[in-house]
Structure 1
Amino acid sequence: MNPSTAQAEVIVDELIRRGVADAVLCPGSRNAPLSFALHRAELAGRIRLHVRIDERTGAFLALGLALRSGRPVPVACTSGTAAANLHPAVLEASYAGVPLLALTADRPPELVGTGANQTIVQHQLFGRAPRLSVTLPVARAGTDGELTAWRASVARAVGVALGAAGGGRVGPVHLNLPFAEPLVPDVPGGYDVSEPVDGAPWPAPALPPAVADAATLPLDPSAPTLVLAGGVPAGPVPGLPADLGVPVVAEPHSPLWPRALRTGPWLLGSPALERLRPAQVLLHGRPTLHRPVARLLADRRVAVYAVAGTVGTTGPEGAELPPSVRAVGVPPPLRPPPDWCSRWERADAAASAALDRALADPATPVGLRLAAAVVAGLPDGALLVLGSSNPVRDASLAARPCTGLTVLSNRGVAGIDGTVSTATGAALAHGGPAYALIGDLTVLHDLTGLVVGPYERAPELTLVVLNDAGGGVFSLLEQGAPEYAGSFERVFGTPHAVRLDAVCAGLGIGHRRVDDLGGLADALAGGSEGVRVLEVPASRAGLRAGHAAVRAAVDAAVSDAGVSETAARGGGSHDSS
């Protein structure tokens, strides 16, 4: 067996011994040794292989598989720009805490800087985003003793991806693999890679101490306390006691969302906050959706503490803690004032009733009504992937938190790129009905994510696409204000004339247009095997005014419920985006 083939076989074998169950492969020449080794492992029933023609799509597919399963998933590609196309997914994995393994084939070092084809400097290509970046030595003839070193490198990579370094932060790892020719298998012999040298996997680095060993946070158990919850790293994450007894404001992709106040994001942006303001905040995960949350975390009148195991650490790589966090640890039992908690409950009930009235009004923006209807219409045990632009915000603002639903979103860096592929990977790992709520620009940004070859596993995935022919999220931001109307449509609205039905026909996937949200439940229930698109048309006209109208209705209802200050004292921004 030639050296490159032997090295690839050892790498794949050790990945599998480390618990890797899925791998993504993108075609290329320099990564041929890995391609043959992965295919051989698939034929032996040792791994599930997913092949994609586009490296960016492949990387986000691997990210989705890892995000849903919590297990490390490698994506293997050839050298040059192919490797560079993994970068967006590596960044998302870094900031979201997902164990993605980037395996980039490379030219031998003697070819770098010589004008050799498809050759760039790939060592530390992804900067400081990976938890670990390692370039393996080139396998050469007569280097049988390197088998142990190869296995040790793979063991270290998987261990670090699962949090054995970097303060216990789960995240991506980059293994750069220079392969020398020949790149294809030859006659057997020369290496025995069927077993590790000592008959067992190489010892992996020790994982960090359990969260249970973390220090108890110095909270005042009797002070008014609010939990703010956002996205957490992939895999098992510590929760909070079921009888915590404090209000929870959570984003839909937080594991605490089923326990959250329905209208928490609206309440934090309303004058009611002056009466409901907590003395301390318990941070669970990384909330990123709403500006009122960020303002509360930055409020010097509020003491902020974070739950160990749910957040990153300070530093230049990965998601960082807000600077206001005073300590990270395990919360003690909390006993906030009952009257303060009841004010939150009354405010939430009043705001929720106002929100329901608004959602029944056809004048309310379609995005809000659609998000509420999708969450309410999904079967128990379903997976829902929310697009990182308006869909995840619409769900946070309008949907009713529920149990029996797994919700994911790429909020590490919050880009829309790769969302279709992330949803596909998550659906494949989920193993049951899966749905994604995304916008038209998001699906156009990742059309190659819909290209699934005839040999590949097709997920049971329904893409609900809100098509407002452009970038609706910008209508709700500063650039969407009337004074910028002269520039808005050209450089922010970015309209297009793409017919999604024709695109779906060309890709060979199902398409159905849903013009009336009253028929959405039937459309969601009418699924079949494979991927399908439910297109919901909408207009961006009036989006900003529609959100403002809902905001006014919620604020008025909370005020009438007797939990807010007078309008004169309220003041402040009402922005919930």
Structure 2
Amino acid sequence: MTSTALARQVVTALIEAGVTEIVVAPGSRNAPLSFAAYDAAAAGLVRLHTRIDERTAGFLALGLSRNHRRAAVICTSGTGVANLHPAVLEAAHADVDLVVVTADRPPRLRGTSANQTTDQVGIFGPLVQTQDATGPLELLTTGPVHVNVPLDEPLVPEDRWTPELTPGRPAEHLRATVQVTIPTGPRTVVVAGDDAGPPARVLAERAGWPLLAEPSSGSRTGENAIRTYRLLLGGELGDRVERVVVCGHPTLSRPVSRLLSRADVQVVDTPARGVWHERPFPVDERLVVVPGVEQSDDPAWLEEWRTADRSVSRQLDALLAAEPDLTPHEVAGAVAQAFEEGALLVVGASSPIRDLDLMVPRYRVGARRKVLANRGLAGIDGTISTAIGAALARPDSTRSLALMGDVTFLHDSNGLVIGPGEPVPDLTIVVVNDDGGSIFSMLEQGAAAYAEQHDRLFGTPHGVDLASLCAATRTPHLRVTSLPELEQALASPNGGIEVIEAVVRRDNRRALDERIRSLRP
């Protein structure tokens, strides 16, 4: 079989497996695949995207796949394949239907020193399904799939392809719908981590339990959601918790981690997605179905949490309002207020998602707000590209926003390199710029004993002029230093991709965090 015929066979299999978006990174060895993808896009069977950087391409495809689309990314052989690994690992741990198609040298050149030749079969490890495209392809499975395609010369077609095929539907992620009843009685809270979904909220409301929901849980709505739960867990209310029902993938909070590790707390675990289902904390009961309750619990327990939450929320807002300079928490709060019904928000790792966690109000149930974050491995990789992909895959959003730190922004600044004619969403990217990595100042490394080494090893000030960086890619940029400026900028989106740089301090971050953590009802 010629390389052109094989490439067309692979692209046919992608479309029949429900792939609607194809991202291509340029290369010679993957030329047959690229030509086939171009012809499929010309026939209206897929939407084509091109990127010059494989890592950016991988996260763009990941973002596209996070919003009920199925995307494939195509790259050439050699190091280009390795640059897809961060996106593939995130997809594996978050259970995202990403398809990775890598061009390879023909079998006769494997194991030799031929140019751009390495061992690509199974390169992503045992967590990812790998298929060598020398036989029938099975792409209907869920989760990330790696298709390695050996291609020999000639690498260009002799004709245009007019594909005649029927697009398929991606395999569905089916959540269990049968319920098992959890008895009421012990003082219980529901912890909703990333991708917990509405069942966590429904359970908390039916039982009358406090809901401790991360921003990307899909559960941070309704009257049971406790805004300042992270702070309350450090006090008397947290000490009195007797049982925790865990939903989704909780990753944000050390107070939650400590709660789940306590010997005097019963932990009930519910189904989680991703390649690893074992938890890093002791589990007393593991359910394989969605939990429910027959009746509400003692309403006094929930009311104590609500009362305490109102008190600490008022104190937190007053503390932040009294600060002379714009704080990262106020930036997160402004984004949370601009996050209107029907909108999309993609949040970067490290400090911004934790700051947002303290500032998100109780949103109305059923308002179609969608918060996404790469919490499978919680890396800062590819956040701009993930946000662009997610926005492109949700064109009916009333608005698309992204919130991230400056180091996260710099880590994926190539995501702003988008060629003419490429699909571009309306996306407002808010960058909290404190000239370095402030999250480390709040951890053990930020203690006074390590002050001499801290900035060089962890703070990593960079001094990058973000305005000039944005100008290089013709991305509109606005720098703000106060809350009114930020609120005005958020209220006036201009369309396309634009960057709002919110400048905050880093030198006082540890002290500010200590003052916030000391708040009590």
TM-score normalised by the chain length of structure 1? 0.84
Describe how 1:73-112 pairs up with structure 2 within 5 A: 73-112=71-110
Question: Match of 1:350?
Answer: 311
Letter in 2 for 1:324: P
Letter in 2 for 1:4: S
Is 1:194 the counterpart of 2:194? The answer is no
Which of 119, 122, 128 lines up with 1:121 in the alignment? 119
Q: 1:344: Cα distance to partner?
A: 1.4
Q: Distance in 1 between matches of 2:7 and 2:24?
A: 13
Q: Distance in 2 between matches of 1:540 and 1:129?
A: 38
Question: Alpha carbon RMSD of aligned pairs, Å?
Answer: 2.3
Question: Match of 1:521?
Answer: 487
Once the two structures are aligned, what percentage of the paired residues are identical? 44
Q: Distance in 2 between matches of 1:344 and 1:322?
A: 27
Go from structure 1 to structure 2 and tell me whether the alpha carbon gap of 1:409 and 1:186 turns closer, same or farther (over 3 Å shift).
same
Structure 1 residue runs of 5 or longer lacking an equivalent are 138-148, 162-170, 559-577
Is 1:134 the counterpart of 2:131? The answer is yes
2:438–2:506 Cα contact (<8 Å) kept? yes
Q: Distance in 1 between matches of 2:382 and 2:260?
A: 30
Question: Match of 2:59?
Answer: 60
Q: Distance in 2 between matches of 1:253 and 1:65?
A: 17
Question: Match of 1:270?
Answer: 235
Q: Say which SS state the counterpart of residue 498 (structure 2) adopts.
A: strand
Is 1:330 the counterpart of 2:293? The answer is no
Question: Match of 1:302?
Answer: 265
Question: Match of 1:437?
Answer: 403
Question: Match of 1:427?
Answer: 391
Q: Which protein has the larger Cα radius of gyration, Structure 1 or Structure 2?
A: 1
Q: Distance in 1 between matches of 2:318 and 2:483?
A: 16
Q: 1:461: Cα distance to partner?
A: 0.9
Q: Distance in 2 between matches of 1:249 and 1:97?
A: 23
Q: Say which SS state the counterpart of residue 211 (structure 1) adopts.
A: coil
Q: Distance in 2 between matches of 1:289 and 1:383?
A: 20
Is 1:282 the counterpart of 2:240? The answer is no
Letter in 1 for 2:305: W
Q: Say which SS state the counterpart of residue 252 (structure 2) adopts.
A: coil
Letter in 2 for 1:354: Q
Q: Say which SS state the counterpart of residue 149 (structure 2) adopts.
A: strand
Which of 350, 370, 378 lines up with 1:389 in the alignment? 350
Question: Match of 2:320?
Answer: 359
Is 1:256 the counterpart of 2:214? The answer is no
1:319–1:412 Cα contact (<8 Å) kept? no
Q: Say which SS state the counterpart of residue 384 (structure 1) adopts.
A: strand
Q: Say which SS state the counterpart of residue 292 (structure 2) adopts.
A: coil
Letter in 2 for 1:406: K
Q: 1:363: Cα distance to partner?
A: 4.8
Q: 1:541: Cα distance to partner?
A: 1.0
Letter in 1 for 2:56: T
Letter in 1 for 2:180: T
TM-score normalised by the chain length of structure 2? 0.92
1:515–1:536 Cα contact (<8 Å) kept? yes
CA displacement, residues 266-319 of structure 1 (integer Å, 9 cap, x when unaligned): 1112343223x1x221111011000011111112222222333xx137xxx446
Letter in 2 for 1:416: I
Go from structure 1 to structure 2 and tell me whether the alpha carbon gap of 1:513 and 1:208 turns closer, same or farther (over 3 Å shift).
closer
Q: Say which SS state the counterpart of residue 253 (structure 1) adopts.
A: helix
Describe how 1:313-324 pairs up with structure 2 within 5 A: 317-318=275-276, 320-324=278-282
1:363–1:546 Cα contact (<8 Å) kept? no
Q: 1:209: Cα distance to partner?
A: 6.9
Q: Say which SS state the counterpart of residue 435 (structure 2) adopts.
A: coil
Question: Match of 1:339?
Answer: 300
Moved more, 515-524 or 42-51: 515-524
Go from structure 1 to structure 2 and tell me whether the alpha carbon gap of 1:369 and 1:110 turns closer, same or farther (over 3 Å shift).
same
Question: Match of 1:569?
Answer: none
Describe how 1:372-411 pairs up with structure 2 within 5 A: 372-403=333-364, 404=367, 405-411=369-375
Q: 1:238: Cα distance to partner?
A: 5.0
Structure 2 residue runs of 5 or longer lacking an equivalent are none
Q: 1:240: Cα distance to partner?
A: 4.8
Q: 1:187: Cα distance to partner?
A: 4.7
Letter in 2 for 1:327: R
CA displacement, residues 386-422 of structure 1 (integer Å, 9 cap, x when unaligned): 1101100000022323244211111111111111111
Is 1:507 the counterpart of 2:473? The answer is yes
Go from structure 1 to structure 2 and tell me whether the alpha carbon gap of 1:124 and 1:238 turns closer, same or farther (over 3 Å shift).
farther
Q: Distance in 2 between matches of 1:545 and 1:341?
A: 31
Q: Say which SS state the counterpart of residue 385 (structure 1) adopts.
A: strand
Q: 1:335: Cα distance to partner?
A: 2.7
Question: Match of 2:517?
Answer: 551
1:365–1:543 Cα contact (<8 Å) kept? no
Question: Match of 1:571?
Answer: none
Q: Say which SS state the counterpart of residue 545 (structure 1) adopts.
A: helix
Go from structure 1 to structure 2 and tell me whether the alpha carbon gap of 1:188 and 1:90 turns closer, same or farther (over 3 Å shift).
closer
Q: 1:454: Cα distance to partner?
A: 0.2
Which runs of structure 1 show a deviation greater than 6 angstroms over 4 or more consecutive aligned residues? none
Which of 494, 497, 519 lines up with 1:531 in the alignment? 497
Q: 1:364: Cα distance to partner?
A: 7.7
Question: Match of 1:174?
Answer: 146
Go from structure 1 to structure 2 and tell me whether the alpha carbon gap of 1:391 and 1:208 turns closer, same or farther (over 3 Å shift).
closer
Letter in 2 for 1:414: A
Question: Match of 1:164?
Answer: none
Q: Say which SS state the counterpart of residue 246 (structure 1) adopts.
A: coil
Letter in 2 for 1:428: L
Q: Say which SS state the counterpart of residue 443 (structure 1) adopts.
A: helix
Q: Say which SS state the counterpart of residue 181 (structure 1) adopts.
A: coil
